[in-house]
């Protein structure tokens, strides 16, 4: 059975990430049901990291799973607490010599890019209904990037798109996702 957080994240994926083409890699695994959704009901760093490590093990054992979204099922985890978890997960990948095999994309309801004004729409390219540690297979990313003509323009294109859509657009869709989780 799907958690409410998973339902909200799937809505966000369909409407924002795929619907507005913020991630050219997302549509294929979404349509092929090759995304694993792992809901974590704890904010304790040790428990979140243990589940993250378990998800790496699952990806290692199951090549049919393209990517995993570790969804931290709480709205109470601050962005800075989340960044500490993200750092710990990246240290684990480094310690286990898994950089180059996996990478983590980061999403949080209060995501802020360093150096950007707090009210910049660009933050919404990484804002999700719940904190997410998105585990990506490097080989899959490389394969998609090798077939793209303008892969280096993705961040700039996303920022321009976010600016064109405006904050109200994102707030509306995130509220719809939150409503699904209540």
Q: How far from each other are the two terminal CA atoms of the chain, in whole angstroms?
A: 16
Q: How far is CA 17 from CA 97, 111, 128, 156, 170, in A?
A: 30, 15, 9, 15, 11
State the pLDDT at residue 53: 98
Residue 83: partners with Cβ closer than 8 Å, 6 or more residues away: 106
Residue ranges of domains in the chain: 4-181
Main-chain dihedrals φ then ψ at residue 147, nearest 5 degrees:
-100, 10
State the pLDDT at residue 150: 60
DSSP 124: G
Q: How many Å apart are CA 6 and CA 1, to the nearest integer?
A: 10
State the pLDDT at residue 88: 97
pTM (global) more than 0.75: yes
Q: How many Å apart are CA 35 and CA 137, to the nearest integer?
A: 11
State the pLDDT at residue 24: 81
State the pLDDT at residue 48: 96
């Amino acid at each position: 059975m799907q958690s409410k957080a998973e339902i909200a994240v799937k809505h966000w994926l369909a409407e924002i990430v795929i619907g507005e083409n913020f991630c050219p890699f997302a549509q294929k695994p979404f349509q092929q049901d090759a995304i694993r959704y792992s809901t974590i009901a704890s904010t304790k760093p040790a428990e979140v990291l243990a589940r993250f490590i378990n998800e790496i093990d699952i990806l290692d054992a199951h090549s049919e799973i393209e990517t995993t979204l570790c969804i931290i099922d709480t709205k109470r985890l601050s962005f800075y607490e989340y960044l500490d978890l993200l750092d710990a997960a990246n240290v684990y990948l480094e310690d286990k010599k898994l950089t180059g095999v996996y990478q983590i994309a980061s999403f949080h309801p209060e995501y802020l890019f360093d150096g950007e004004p707090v009210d910049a729409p660009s933050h919404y390219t990484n804002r999700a209904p719940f904190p997410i540690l998105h585990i990506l297979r490097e080989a899959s990313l490389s394969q998609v990037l090798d077939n793209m003509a303008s892969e280096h323009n993705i961040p700039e294109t996303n920022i321009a798109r976010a600016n064109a859509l405006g904050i109200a657009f994102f707030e509306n869709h995130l509220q719809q996702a939150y409503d699904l989780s209540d």
